[in-house]
């Protein structure tokens, strides 16, 4: 006589623990996906270049991601607010708080603490400055200038700007579909005024983490669907056979 069929019992403790682990990992992956996106939206702004005062480094229409509150150094390209109007512009930091910035020396160059700058980033045909100046910056002041000196309105007209007027540095430039990193000009490095190399914007790492979270969620979704299908197949009762045909 065949034994009567009984439905499967409750899940074993091991299976229950596996489910807990699965959902904990899923929660972590979801946090990795959503958290960095929120952080990027809160801390990053994208500005569009509308002026020729930073040519040839920047062109009209370039998109400039800026991380709010990110530190800056001499030679950095920064988005800042014009002290006299509050309008947003893009300039290059030449001097930091405490620096003595002057133009021009006997060779016609801008100097920072007596160190002459070889400004290879200037627009072709432009001289370092047609306006002479000699300023010692206070602890909260910066000296900024455009790369197209012939047309740029900058600290030569405004004077030093407060550090608090800087929105943040431009660390990468988006030219249409192309992306380029902003490196510290070699003259600042050679003169010991800034460290060498380029910096990776924080939002790049945040987006990478978010992408990893997205991939992990897809893998977990596929794994969860596969395990559910397999479990249902194992748990399906076998139809009874009829004797005596």
Q: Please list the active-site residues.
A: 53, 91
- Rounded CA separation 124/96 (Å): 26
Residue 177 burial (CB < 10 Å; 0-12/13-18/19+)?
A: exposed
In sequence order, which residues have a C-beta less than 8 Å from that of residue 186 and are 6 or more positions away? Answer: 118, 120, 196
* Alpha helices by DSSP H, the chain: 13-43, 155-158, 186-190, 202-235
Is there a cis peptide before residue 104, judged by omega within 30 degrees of 0? Answer: yes
In sequence order, which residues have a C-beta less than 8 Å from that of residue 84 and are 6 or more positions away? Answer: 158
3-state percent helix, strand, coil for the chain, nearest multiple of 5: 30, 25, 45
In sequence order, which residues have a C-beta less than 8 Å from that of residue 181 and are 6 or more positions away? Answer: 171, 172, 198, 200
Cα→Cα distances 130→25, 31, 152, 236, Å = 63, 54, 11, 87
- Rounded CA separation 200/202 (Å): 6
User: Rg for the chain (alpha carbons), in Å?
Assistant: 30
């Amino acid at each position: 006589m065949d034994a009567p069929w009984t439905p499967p019992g409750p899940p074993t403790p091991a299976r229950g623990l596996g489910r807990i682990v699965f959902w904990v990992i899923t929660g972590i992956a979801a946090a990795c996906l959503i958290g960095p996106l929120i952080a990027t939206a809160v801390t990053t702004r994208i500005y569009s270049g509308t002026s020729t005062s930073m040519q040839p480094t920047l062109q009209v229409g370039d998109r400039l991601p800026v991380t709010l509150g990110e530190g800056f150094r001499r030679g950095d390209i920064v988005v800042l607010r014009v002290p006299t109007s509050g309008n947003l512009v893009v300039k290059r930091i030449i001097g930091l708080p405490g620096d003595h910035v002057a133009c021009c020396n006997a060779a016609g160059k801008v100097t920072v603490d007596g160190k002459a700058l070889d400004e290879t980033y200037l627009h072709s045909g432009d001289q370092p400055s047609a306006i002479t100046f000699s300023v010692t910056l206070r602890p909260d002041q910066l000296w900024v200038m455009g790369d197209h000196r012939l047309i740029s309105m900058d600290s030569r007209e405004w004077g030093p700007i407060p550090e608090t007027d800087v929105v943040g540095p431009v660390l990468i430039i988006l030219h249409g579909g192309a992306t380029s990193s902003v490196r510290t000009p070699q003259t600042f490095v050679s003169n010991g005024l800034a460290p060498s190399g380029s910096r990776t914007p924080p939002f790049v790492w945040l987006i990478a983490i978010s992408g990893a979270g997205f991939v992990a969620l897809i893998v977990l979704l596929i794994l969860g669907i596969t395990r559910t299908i397999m479990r249902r197949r194992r748990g399906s009762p076998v139809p009874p056979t009829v004797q005596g045909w």
